[in-house]
Amino acid sequence: MTVLVTGAGGFIGGHLVADLLNQGKDVRAVDIKPQDEWYQVHADAENVVADCADMGDAHKIAVGTEEIYNLAADMGGMGFIENNKAECMLSVLTSTNVLVAARDAGTQRYFYSSSACVYAGDKQTDPNVTALKESDAYPADPEDGYGWEKLFSERMARHFREDFGIETRVARYHNVYGPLGTWTGGREKAPAAICRKVLEAKHSGSNQIEIWGDGKQTRSFLYIDECLEGTIRLTRSASFEGPVNIGSEEMVTINQLVDIVSDIAGKRLNKKHIAGPTGVRGRNSDNRLIEQRLGWKPSATLRAGLEKTYSWIERQVHSNSRAAAQ
């Protein structure tokens, strides 16, 4: 039987395909983008260009699958999701069609990648936020656009489990980052954007970096390897009803995030705070449920993951600079 990964041309999807192939699985990797735009293309996978928002395509790619990891969505960092709410909500077509196709194909297990953006805004107004537990998504007041789509799709997965017996699993990802991801162009998230900005300042000789807002907003960031481990553990768990956080509990301000990257780069920078999308004031992951139910929670330090991410982005910047000079 085949394991299907939708959104396989994206950051998390590309890493997940690699991990599943290393486990000896037969993997069908699907994305709407042309393959030359995929972050990773693995020769050992069955690589398919298809539109999961199209019901016909969704049914075709689900045939013969035992597990489906649905990561396909139109999304990006805060700058993207705050300015493209309708585009983000249209991902409901993908979420719906892949779940229906899983039911019709007799797929045993279905994983849905949700987001910490589902959490109620009134619980995220203070930088010194109490870590968000899974029940804090209700009463509902999620991130407008993107968060509402994710919350609706979570509920749909729940009811497909109740009504049709599909073993659905839902993870709420908290700011996943790492190498081989988006690092420029407007869809990148904070860790990659800051790595790029620090590198640009280092190469230009500038002593300044621009930060959206006052930099006191807080977040936790999850390294990609731990995201993958949590995702697979959850999907193959014997029993797990309801969404669960997959995120780090190491909370930092955006100013502190800049300081860590600057230290890795060996470059002292002055912060210039400017107007821009900042999202909620504080967000952190409460990992008690996943530790209780799966006996595991993410534990890697932010600095360790940033060192790897910075090194990879540095190579991309150098590669782009050499290409531009030719």
Positions annotated as catalytic residues are: 146
The pair of structure tokens assigned to 283 is: 């967000």
For residues 252 and 270, give the distance between their C-alpha atoms in angstroms, rounded to a whole number: 18
Amino acid at 25: K
pLDDT of residue 39: 95
Closest among 48, 4, 319, 307 to 179, alpha carbons compared? 307
Full set of structural domains in the chain with CATH:
2-175+222-246 (3.40.50.720)
Instruction: Evaluate if residue 325 carries a pLDDT over 70.
Output: no
Q: What is the pLDDT of residues 232-263, one digit of tens each?
A: 999 999 988 899 999 999 999 999 999 999 99
Closest among 46, 84, 284, 310 to 178, alpha carbons compared? 310
pLDDT of residue 187: 87
Q: What is the pLDDT of residues 135-186, one digit of tens each?
A: 999 999 999 999 999 999 999 999 999 999 999 999 999 999 999 999 998 8
Q: What is the pLDDT of residues 92-127, one digit of tens each?
A: 999 999 999 999 999 999 999 999 999 999 999 999
Q: What is the pLDDT of residues 18-49, one digit of tens each?
A: 999 999 999 999 999 999 999 999 999 999 99
Would strands 26-31 and 46-49 be described as parallel, antiparallel, or unpaired?
Answer: parallel
Q: 61 and 4 in contact (C-beta within 8 Å)?
A: yes
Terminal CA-CA length for the chain:
47
Q: Output helix, strand, coil percentages for the chain, rounded to the nearest 5.
A: 45, 20, 35
Position 324 confidence tier, pLDDT thresholds 50, 70, 90 = low
